[in-house]
Amino acid sequence: MKFTVPGKWILVGEHAVVRGAPAIVAPLSSRSLILEESTELEASPLQTALEKIAETLPGLSEKFSRLKVSSDIPVQAGLGSSAALSVAVARYLEAHDFLPNEEILAKAQEFENIFHGSSSGLDLAAVSASGPIFFRRGEDPKPLTCAWTPKIYLHDSGTRSSTKECVEHVANQNRKDLDQLMAMAVDGARAALRLSEAEGISLLKDAILTAAKCFEEWGLMNAESAALTEKLYRAGALAVKPTGSGNGGFLLSLWENTPPEEFRGLPGF
């Protein structure tokens, strides 16, 4: 049996979502993680992460010593690799009758907390979804109504950061104004996606720029992200922001027309 789970990317709503604001997030269908039984295990950061999860499940260590994780989701990049691993392991437990179906998400959240501290659950909801969702902590995610498909691409800043540290950095600033601004970006993006492309694109651009401003104000734009942002704007991007916890990781860009190949990165949709 094979358990395949995609990555995820966040359109808008990071950080404020931890304190109850909504967010828009989508599965990253071009990248996925696979968990399967195998006798040929190779050392990797994800295999180590799986061992950490196994430590919380005494009695299953023999079964887990035969589980292999492979993935093309970049690790620690804000693209949901730990959420994908957590969901894959919870599904594996369910399939082998170690977990009731209705507890898959709660168990995956326990695993995710090993890596992220207390997360909003946004990543888990996204990697479990079949399309973009509107998410609010503690509520069932709602499928997002999209009347058009924005040209959105994801680009690697080449640097990595810890989600836990970024979340703490933002929480310590206690900037309620920025949480509110991020919530406005989410409202704007949601409305933009319900309109036609011609009517919605400038609203979506403004929403992404508003979210980008929050990242700047929180001090979560490192030099590499700032340089890549400049490069994307010079190539014609309409709006650019970090996707995920920031301070490195991946950036998201919105385009009016399909960008030149070298700026296509990973397609969001």
Binder of ligand PMV out of 6, 7, 132, 244 (CB under 6 A): 244
Per CB under 6 A, contacts with ligand PMV among 104-123 are 119-120, 122-123
Question: Among residues 171 and 226, whose Cβ is nearest to ligand PMV?
Answer: 171
> Left if phi > 0, otherwise alpha if psi is -120 to 50, otherwise beta: which for 30?
alpha
When asked if residue 78 is in the footprint of ligand PMV (CB under 6 A), the reply is: yes
Question: Among residues 115 and 255, whose Cβ is nearest to ligand PMV?
Answer: 115
Both tokens of residue 76? 């620690």
Binder of ligand PMV out of 5, 11, 12, 18 (CB under 6 A): 18
When asked if residue 266 is in the footprint of ligand PMV (CB under 6 A), the reply is: no
Sort 80 into a burial class: Cβ within 10 Å, 0-12 / 13-18 / 19+: buried
In sequence order, which ranges of the chain are alpha helices (DSSP H)?
45-55, 61-64, 81-95, 104-116, 122-127, 163-173, 176-194, 197-217, 223-234
Per CB under 6 A, contacts with ligand PMV among 138-197 are 163, 167
Nearest-angstrom CA–CA distance, 254 and 237: 6
C-alpha distance from residue 250 to each of 62, 65, 74, 89, 229 (Å): 36, 32, 10, 25, 11
In the complex, least distance from residue 15 CB atom to ligand PMV, rounded to whole angstroms: 5
Question: Among residues 120 and 229, whose Cβ is nearest to ligand PMV?
Answer: 120
Question: Among residues 170 and 201, whose Cβ is nearest to ligand PMV?
Answer: 170
C-alpha distance from residue 37 to each of 1, 41, 65, 91, 135 (Å): 7, 9, 9, 13, 33
The number of residues that bind ligand PMV (CB under 6 A) is 14
Binder of ligand PMV out of 5, 17, 28, 266 (CB under 6 A): 17
When asked if residue 214 is in the footprint of ligand PMV (CB under 6 A), the reply is: no
Question: Among residues 15 and 91, whose Cβ is nearest to ligand PMV?
Answer: 15
Question: Among residues 132 and 244, whose Cβ is nearest to ligand PMV?
Answer: 244
When asked if residue 124 is in the footprint of ligand PMV (CB under 6 A), the reply is: no
In the complex, least distance from residue 10 CB atom to ligand PMV, rounded to whole angstroms: 6
Burial letters 172-207, b for 16+ CB under 10 A, else e: eeebeebbebbbbbbebbbebbeeeeeebbebbbbb
Listed ranges 9-17, 86-94, 152-160, 182-190: which one lies at the site for ligand PMV (CB under 6 A): 9-17
